[in-house]
Amino acid sequence: MSQDVILEARGLSKEFKGFIAVKEVNLQVRRGTIHALIGPNGAGKSTVFNLLTKFLTPTRGQILYKGRDITAMRPADVALLGLVRSFQISAVFPHLSVLENVRVALQRPLGTSFHFWKSESSLANLRDRAMELIEAVNLTPWAHHTAAELPYGRKRALEIATTLALDPEVMLLDEPLAGMGHEDIERTAALIKRVSADRTILMVEHNLSVVAHLSDTITVLRRGEILAEGPYDVVSRNPQVMEAYMGTGEVGHA
Amino acid sequence: MAAKSHANPSQATIAVRQPGQDNASRLILVGLGLAAAVAAPFVLYPVFVMKVLCFALFACAFNLLIGFAGLLSFGHAAFFGGAAYITAHAAKVWGLSPEISILLGTAFAGLLGLAVGALAIRRQGIYFAMITLALSQMVFFMALQLKFTGGEDGIQGVPRGHLFGAIDLNDPLAMYYFVLAVFLIGFALIWRTVHSPFGQVLKAIRENEPRAISLGYRTERYKLLAFVLSASLAGLAGGTKSLVFQLASLTDVTWQMSGEVVLMTLLGGMGTLFGPVVGAGIVVTLESYLAGTNLPVPVVIGAIFVVCVLVFRRGIVGELQALMARRRKA
């Protein structure tokens, strides 16, 4: 069992000046699954997320990635191990073109990222790979537009393409469907499903119904603690979840 | 909702930039600019144009940092003026040739930039600006107190010397073309940096630093390299200026000088390559024009700054580019 856990949190806690945002969270993300972390506002989802990606330092606890302790690592270095995150507000580089957005993620392995004397045309051979990734998220017609020109849902798609450029083993998506219209939600959910084929995904979501058919495992957080965990059918029938998280007896229609 | 109201792709592709056309008109502009620069000393006072070139390079160096890395330094006078002292001292006291003296000034500015940058990049935004200001004030007081800088008098009567031991720079035309060459080398280096793999990462950091980190970039290292490059080029400008005026003085290390380069860059257009050149040209021209009148220079410059921020935020070149982009789309 333990060998197919790719990302694990042990006794993870985070305090902000006396306020306990995350308390003793034990989380196991299994390789090759889509794992959703949900909970109401202020449940500590984003904090857990920022802890796992090293954008915050835990007060207590350990984070293991493929059995290796990454608790003390820098966020940029975690990314190089294959643990790549997205952000809640769409994280694109607005004044770069769609192509450049993806290319900047591809260029690091070339080892020329500090070469200020080299021509930009030295990046030209990344173009094909970048266009493939752009094609994969259906953004080809927009390739030469600046990211700022894209509608919101497309920005999220670009963000996923940029994340995929690193070919991460684990993708951490922070509310990838938040603020989207119905069409965009379906398209993006399908995209997440598609890219999950050969990797692991941990996503934070606000709404249980959205992740219902997408995730293999759902962890419900409340006030910084884990309330329930399991597949949708189990979690959604958990009376504590129904009462505490939704406030009503009906889960999934909120 | 937002998705629906937006243009569909087939419509949008019409608006795609046409790089070929862009390049052609840019080449013509660059050619005209070069021709003007070559002809300038026959029309204008060479010293005046050299001053413009030195400040233009200074502003371009500053712009590399704020326009392409998103870092607002409020202490760039330390590099500009610091290099001026080193160059002046090397040329006058050590009797070194002008090119070696300028290189020493540039290297000093680069090292100073490494020290200041290493401290400042740990903080963001206004705190970054404040640290650079504080450290540059330290440089100012050192310039005031140290023996070799000559206190209030500065270093006067700096010899221009012979370039590569052969070309006499006391000839105004020779000096002018030397300064023009220094400017062009500095500008070319900035242009290359902006359009390099490093420049791409820098722009990504400017646009969204947390995202750049999440893509595996240790952003503080990129910011530090940008800072050192910018400081070195500011030093190149300052060192050259000390040979033009044969003087290194306290004026060049004051915080007002740090402010002036901010103004030049904003006025011309932050984040555009030619904006700082235009801004420096306007500010230097205004200052020398106003010097002959009774108008208080800082008040006029301040008023221009306010108008710039209120009316054309992108600066002159920035607004022109935006206008052209809009026209092309229409």
Q: What is the DSSP string of B189-240?
A: HHHHHHTSHHHHHHHHHHH-HHHHHHTT--HHHHHHHHHHHHHHHHHHHHHH
Interface of B with A in 213-242 (CB under 8 A): 213-219, 221-222, 225, 229
Q: Supply the mean pLDDT for chain A.
A: 84
CB B210 within 8 A of CB A55: yes
List the single residue in B with minimal CA-CA distance to A78.
Answer: B216
CA B259 – CA B297 distance, rounded (Å): 14
For the residues B204-215, what does the mean pLDDT come to?
91
Q: Do A116 and B4 touch (CB under 8 A)?
A: no
C-alpha R_g of chain A: 19
Q: Is B16 left (phi over 0), alpha (psi -120 to 50) or beta?
A: beta
List the single residue in B with minimal CA-CA distance to A146.
Answer: B16
Q: Which residue has the tokens 């940058």?
A: B117
Q: Do B204 and A93 touch (CB under 8 A)?
A: yes
Q: How far is CA A97 from CA A31, A122, A237, B63, B178, in A?
A: 34, 17, 46, 21, 39
Q: Do B203 and A144 touch (CB under 8 A)?
A: no
A123 φ/ψ angles, rounded to the nearest 5 degrees: -95, 0
CA B53 – CA B47 distance, rounded (Å): 10
CB A6 within 8 A of CB A65: yes
B19 vs A56, more confident: A56
CA B213 – CA A91 distance, rounded (Å): 11
Minimum-distance CB partner of A120 among B2, B16, B195: B195
Mutate to test the interface with A, among B215, B220, B222, B270 (most CBs of A within 10 A): B215
- DSSP class per residue in B241-266: HHHHTTEE-GGGGSHHHHHHHHHHHH
Chain A hits for B15, CB-CB cut-off 8 Å, are 145
List the single residue in A with minimal CA-CA distance to B6.
Answer: A151
A103 touches chain B (CB under 8 A): yes
CB pairs under 8 A between A and B: 133
Minimum-distance CB partner of A113 among B13, B197, B210: B197
Closest CA to B271 of B316, B235, B318, B312: B318
Domain boundaries of chain B, sorted by first residue: 45-254
A55 touches chain B (CB under 8 A): yes
User: Has residue B291 got a pLDDT over 70?
Assistant: yes
User: Has residue B227 got a pLDDT over 50?
Assistant: yes
Q: What pLDDT, on the 0 to 100 scale, is given for residue B22? A: 65
Distance from CA of A20 to the nearest CA of B (A): 24
Q: Do B192 and A119 touch (CB under 8 A)?
A: yes
CA-based torsion, B42, B48, B54, B60: positive or negative:
negative
CA A30 – CA B172 distance, rounded (Å): 75
CA A144 – CA A162 distance, rounded (Å): 15
User: Has residue A110 got a pLDDT over 60?
Assistant: yes
Q: Where are the beta strands (DSSP E) in A39-191?
A: 60-65, 68-69, 83-85, 170-174
User: Has residue B238 got a pLDDT over 90?
Assistant: yes
Distance from CA of B198 to the nearest CA of A (A): 5
Q: What pLDDT, on the 0 to 100 scale, is given for residue B16? A: 42
CA B198 – CA A112 distance, rounded (Å): 7
For the residues B264-273, what does the mean pLDDT come to?
89
Q: How far is CA A151 from CA A94, A142, B25, in A?
A: 12, 11, 31
The β-bridge partners of A22 are: A14
The β-bridge partners of A228 are: A220
A138 φ/ψ angles, rounded to the nearest 5 degrees: 60, 40
Tell me the pLDDT tens digit for each residue of B162-199.
Answer: 788 788 878 888 899 999 999 999 999 999 999 999 99
B207 touches chain A (CB under 8 A): yes
Q: What pLDDT, on the 0 to 100 scale, is given for residue B182? A: 95
Chain A hits for B210, CB-CB cut-off 8 Å, are 55, 87, 91
Tell me the pLDDT tens digit for each residue of B119-168.
Answer: 999 888 889 999 999 999 999 998 888 888 887 888 888 888 878 878 88
Q: Supply the mean pLDDT for chain B.
A: 86
Q: What pLDDT, on the 0 to 100 scale, is given for residue A247? A: 57
Mutate to test the interface with B, among A86, A104, A106 (most CBs of B within 10 A): A104
Minimum-distance CB partner of A151 among B3, B218, B221: B3
Which residues, including other chains, have CB under 8 Å from residue B132's CB and lie 6 or more apart?
B73, B74, B75, B76, B116, B120
Give the type of residue at A136.
A
A148 touches chain B (CB under 8 A): no
Closest CA to A84 of A202, A179, A185: A202
A119 touches chain B (CB under 8 A): yes
Q: What pLDDT, on the 0 to 100 scale, is given for residue A209? A: 73
Tell me the pLDDT tens digit for each residue of A14-48.
Answer: 988 878 888 888 989 999 899 999 887 778 888 88
Tell me the pLDDT tens digit for each residue of A155-209.
Answer: 888 988 899 898 899 999 888 887 777 777 888 888 888 888 889 999 988 767 7
Q: Is A112 left (phi over 0), alpha (psi -120 to 50) or beta?
A: alpha
Q: Do B216 and A112 touch (CB under 8 A)?
A: no
Give the up-direction half-sphere exposure of residue A77: CA atoms within 13 A in the CB hemisphere: 7
A53 touches chain B (CB under 8 A): yes
Q: What pLDDT, on the 0 to 100 scale, is given for residue A191? A: 84
The β-bridge partners of A36 are: A203, A218
Task: Enter the tokens of residue A11.
Answer: 């006794």
Q: What pLDDT, on the 0 to 100 scale, is given for residue A221? A: 86
Q: What pLDDT, on the 0 to 100 scale, is given for residue B35? A: 86
B328 touches chain A (CB under 8 A): no
User: Has residue B17 got a pLDDT over 50?
Assistant: no
B12 touches chain A (CB under 8 A): yes
Distance from CA of A116 to the nearest CA of B (A): 5
Chain B hits for A138, CB-CB cut-off 8 Å, are none
Question: What ipTM score was computed for the predicted complex, to two decimals?
Answer: 0.82
CA-based torsion, A160, A164, A166, A168: positive or negative:
positive
Q: Do A166 and B215 touch (CB under 8 A)?
A: yes
B191 touches chain A (CB under 8 A): no
Q: In this structure, what DSSP letter does residue A245 have?
A: I
Cβ neighbour number for residue B110 with a 10 Å cutoff: 22
CB A94 within 8 A of CB B170: no
Q: What pLDDT, on the 0 to 100 scale, is given for residue B11? A: 38
Chain B hits for A85, CB-CB cut-off 8 Å, are 214
| pLDDT confidence bin for B15, thresholds 50/70/90 | very low
| pLDDT confidence bin for A80, thresholds 50/70/90 | confident
| pLDDT confidence bin for B20, thresholds 50/70/90 | low
Q: What pLDDT, on the 0 to 100 scale, is given for residue A122? A: 83
Give the type of residue at A36.
A
**Percent of all residues in chain B with a pLDDT value above 70, rounded to a whole number:** 93
Tell me the pLDDT tens digit for each residue of B63-99.
Answer: 999 999 889 999 999 999 999 999 999 998 898 899 9
For the residues A67-73, what does the mean pLDDT come to?
89
Q: Do B225 and A94 touch (CB under 8 A)?
A: no
B22 touches chain A (CB under 8 A): no
B4 touches chain A (CB under 8 A): yes
Closest CA to A223 of A42, A26, A16: A42
DSSP element (H, E) containing B306: helix B297-311
Q: What's the helix, strand, coil split of chain A in %, to 5?
A: 40, 25, 35
Q: Do B16 and A144 touch (CB under 8 A)?
A: yes
User: Has residue A108 got a pLDDT over 80?
Assistant: yes
Chain B hits for A107, CB-CB cut-off 8 Å, are 197, 200-201
Q: What pLDDT, on the 0 to 100 scale, is given for residue B302? A: 84
Domains of chain A, CATH where assigned: 2-90+171-176+197-246 (3.40.50.300)
| pLDDT confidence bin for A223, thresholds 50/70/90 | confident
**Percent of all residues in chain A with a pLDDT value above 70, rounded to a whole number:** 94
CB A160 within 8 A of CB A192: yes
A194 touches chain B (CB under 8 A): no
